[in-house]
Amino acid sequence: MNKISQYLLSRNVQKADFNSYGSRRGHDEIMVRVTFANVRIKNALADKEGGYTKYLPTGEEMSIYDASRKYKTANTPLIILAGKEYGS
């Protein structure tokens, strides 16, 4: 189950009411989870495609969202390096 589905279910939103990302784009908690959730993203740090990365302190592969939360907890500043076609 993806991070957005988990979040919505935790807020008692029924699956029939999930709708689309576009309908929830004004909701910061949704957008922080969906920004790097594209299944076609190719992250050079991860072994698989999609919204995954490697959490460098441990080498564990996890969702970009989960890694970002761990880095935030550790007060580690982050930057995003993206290819010229990212977002197109």
Averaged pLDDT of the chain: 85
49-73 pLDDT tens trace? 988 999 999 999 999 999 999 999 9
Looking at the chain, the whole-number percentage of residues with pLDDT higher than 70 is 90
Confidence class of residue 22 from pLDDT cuts 50, 70 and 90?
Answer: low
Is the model's pLDDT at 17 over the cut of 90?
A: no
Please give the Cα distance from 9 to 3 (Å, whole number). 10
Q: 């008692």: which residue's tokens?
A: 12
Is the model's pLDDT at 21 over the cut of 70?
A: no
Three-state DSSP class for 88? coil
